[in-house]
């Protein structure tokens, strides 16, 4: 995984003043996966969503992944339960409706964008990057 090679001394590094730090990007990706899951279950936006990460300090990549593991497992199990027809028939959201299949693709796209951002920042800092292009 791309995040595992990040030395702890760079957790708070930002590419500029307005960017998220490495630790914020990691947290953001994990939190968003849970948010995507919850929105799918609700079939749209959530008025009073409370993130399980809200008061949790960032300690390490390993701790973040361990904390996220049960949420990811639930998310993947939910995806596995959908039929091919569900991907077209279930609609997420009302203001900007998306078919479930499209919405699920957007979850992967979101993570991919942040993976590219992460790799670019590792390159900028001349930190060894994992080879992910197999």
Question: What value does the mean pLDDT take over residues 54-74?
Answer: 96
Q: Which residue has the higher pLDDT, 36 or 95?
A: 36
Q: In this predicted structure, what is the pLDDT of residue 47? A: 84
**Could you tell me which of 90, 91, 79, 93 has the C-alpha nearest to residue 46?**
93
Both tokens of residue 54?
A: 């809200």
User: pTM of the full predicted structure?
Assistant: 0.92
DSSP state letters, 48-85: S---TTTTPPP--HHHHHHHHHHHHHHHHHHHHH--HH
Distance between CA atoms of 113 and 29, rounded to whole angstroms?
10
91 φ/ψ angles, rounded to the nearest 5 degrees: -115, 135
17-36: pLDDT as tens digits: 999 999 999 999 999 999 99
């Amino acid at each position: 995984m791309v995040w595992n090679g990040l030395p702890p001394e760079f957790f708070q590094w930002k590419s500029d003043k307005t960017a998220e730090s490495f630790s914020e990007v990691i947290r953001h990706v994990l939190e968003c996966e849970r948010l995507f899951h919850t929105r799918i279950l609700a079939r749209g936006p959530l008025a009073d969503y409370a993130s399980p990460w809200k008061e949790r300090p960032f300690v390490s990549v390993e701790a973040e992944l361990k904390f996220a593991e049960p949420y990811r497992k639930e998310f993947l199990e939910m995806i596995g339960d959908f039929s091919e027809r569900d991907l077209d028939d279930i609609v997420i959201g009302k203001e900007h409706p998306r078919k479930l299949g499209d919405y699920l693709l957007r979850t992967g796209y979101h993570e991919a964008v942040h993976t590219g951002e992460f790799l670019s920042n590792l390159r900028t800092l001349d930190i060894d990057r994992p080879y992910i292009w197999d």
